[in-house]
Every structure is written in structure tokens, then in C-alpha cells.
Amino acid sequence: MDLKFINKDSKERKRVKVGGITIGNGDFVVFAGPCAIEGRDMLLETALYLKKNNVSVLRGGAFKPRTSPYSFQGLELEGVKYLKEASEITGMPVVTEVMDPRDVESIYPYIDMFQIGSRNMQNFSLLREVGKQDKPVLLKRGLAATFEDFLYAAEYIAVEGNDNIVLCERGIRTFESYTRNTMDISVIPLAKELSKLPIIIDPSHGTGIRSLILPMTLAGLAAGADGVMIEVHPCPDKALSDGTQSLDFEDFEKLINKLKEVEGCFKDMR
Ligand code: PEP
Ligand code: MN
């Protein structure tokens, strides 16, 4: 592969700062929050809960890339403003998806990290636009992207000057249809062999099945992932999007407790 800005030998491993949190320094960082910001109260309730439970970065979608144009599309800028408020109250840095290069400027003041969603991984004008910003980028793997496509997408961002990029494996489409996607755990060590960037996993989108989030988080941890992103909702059965792959507070707490038990075991893999 012809990588100039994100390749492993260009410098030592990249540490990406998101607010006061560092990704890629050997800690296993937990990103969590609702798939979609559905309103101010639900976001604040979730954020306050997550803050008490070791979450480092709050996620929440406001511009939602839904398969159907008739599904809930997100609260857009109003939602991003709630995210900022949640960040001010809890002290957690926040990440949200940007779908259109024209929204980068308006979202910028409210967030700590831009998320590029799976469906936009090869939206090259969007990649270049976030590459010109001085805020970090969470780049999710395209749902049909090869490993090379994935790294080249990161390179597009870095070419513009911004190499504060965290990769995110969120599953790819395969012939398997019982799970929503197939998580490709092998890209975690592979990304570290070829690039200097940290990589996290998203077992919510990676599987689509709530009960698989904990085991796949542990698989990612053992493979050397730098963190995990999990969808959490106060009442997943009533969620406006992705309820089946969201944890409620009780299950999330079980996951955090399990992580506390095992985290130290795989530190040398990161
Ligand atoms: C998300 O994280 O909100 C999301 C839409 O994920 P993906 O882009 O991986 O489908
Ligand atoms: Mn989702």
C-alpha cells in the first residue's frame, strides 16, 4: 500500500487527543451513548449515567444516515447543541457524525470529534473537509470496504493535514445474515501492522444483536483494540433507532464491570 501520512514507519504510534482523553496510549477507552439523540432529557439522563460508569467519550447521532428516508432522521443541529450541553455538564468530550461537507462548519463549535459514518467512508470531499479541521476524526469502516479501502480513506484525511484519526471496525456485509454485519477482528492487529493509527471496535453495529456486544468487546480487547464504542439507551425497546443493538443501563454496567476485571490482561496487545 502506498501510505505516506498514516503508515507505521512515518512516526511512532499516533496518540489521538479528544478533549482531555487520549486514544492510543495503552488504555482501553470506552465511547458510549445513544444511537440517536432523541431529545434533551434522554441525552442528559444517559450522559449523567455514563459519566458515573467510566465512559470517556459520549457519542450521539444528530444527522442520522437511515436506510429509509421515512425513518427518524435525527434532530440535526438542535441535537448537536444538546450534545454540547451534555459535555459541559459531565465534562465528557463528545463525538457526532457529520454526513455532509457543508455541515462541518456549523457542527464544529459544538463537538470534540467528527465521526465519519460507514456509508460515507469513501465520500472523498467529506474526508478532505474533515482533513482540513483541527479536531480529531473517528473514521468508521465502510460496510463493503476492504481493509485497503479503509486505510486509504484515512490517508485522504491525513493528506489534508489532520492525522488525528481513530479507525473504527464496525463490521462488514458478508453472506452471513443472522447478524447485521460480520465483525472483522483481524483488521485490529492488521491496522497496527500497517498504520500508526489507533483502532476501536463498534460491536453494536458490528453485530446488531445486544447479547453479542459483551463477547465481541472482549474479542476486540484481546486482539489489541484501543477502545470500544457502544450504543446505550435508557429504554432500548423504545429507541427511535438501533434499539436491538443498544444496551440498557443495567447491561452496560455488567459490561463495564467485566472490563474492569479483564482489561489489564491485554495491555501488551495495544
Ligand atoms: C453510528 O455510529 O451512529 C452509525 C450510523 O454507524 P455506522 O456508520 O457504522 O453504520
Ligand atoms: Mn446506530
pLDDT value of position 249: 98
Overall CATH class of domain 16-63+72-261: alpha beta
pLDDT value of position 9: 74
- In tens, the pLDDT along 18-53 reads 999 999 999 999 999 999 999 999 999 999 999 999
Q: How far apart are CA 109 and CA 158, in angstroms?
A: 21
Q: Among 137, 202, 229, 230, which is best to mutate for testing ligand 1, by the most ligand atoms less than 8 A from CB?
A: 202
Distance 149 CA to ligand 2 centre (A): 22
Enter the DSSP assignment of 38: -
Provide the residue ranges of all domains of the chain, joining segments of one domain with +.
16-63+72-261
pLDDT value of position 82: 98
Q: Note the ligand closest to the C-alpha atom of 246.
A: 2
Distance 125 CA to ligand 2 centre (A): 23
Ligand 1 within 6 A of CB of 206 = no
Q: What Cα–Cα distance (Å) separates residue 228 from each residue in 124, 199, 233, 257?
A: 26, 9, 16, 14
Q: How far apart are CA 101 and CA 127, in angstroms?
A: 8
pLDDT value of position 10: 58
Ligand 1 within 6 A of CB of 35 = yes
Q: Is the dihedral of CA 240, 246, 250, 252 positive or negative?
A: negative
* Three cell numbers, residue 192: 497496527
pLDDT value of position 11: 61
Q: Quote the radius of gyration of the chain (alpha carbons, Å).
A: 17
Q: Are 253 and 50 in contact (CB under 8 A)?
A: no
CA dihedral of residues 61, 65, 67, 71 (deg, nearest 10)? 50
For each of the chain's 270 residues, which pLDDT tens digit applies?
999 999 997 568 999 999 999 999 999 999 999 999 999 999 999 999 999 998 999 999 999 999 999 999 999 999 999 999 999 999 999 999 999 999 999 999 999 999 999 999 999 999 999 999 999 999 999 999 999 999 999 999 999 999 999 999 999 999 999 999 999 999 999 999 999 999 999 999 999 999 999 999 999 999 999 999 999 999 999 999 999 999 999 999 999 999 999 988 898 999
Q: Are 166 and 229 in contact (CB under 8 A)?
A: no
Mean pLDDT of all residues belonging to the chain: 97
pLDDT value of position 91: 98
- If DSSP codes are grouped into helix, strand and coil, which group holds residue 95? strand
Q: Among 35, 205, 230, which is best to mutate for testing ligand 1, by the most ligand atoms less than 8 A from CB?
A: 205
- This prediction's pTM: 0.98
Query: 33 CB contacts (<8 Å, ≥6 apart)?
Result: 43, 46, 47, 50, 55, 58, 59, 60, 231, 232
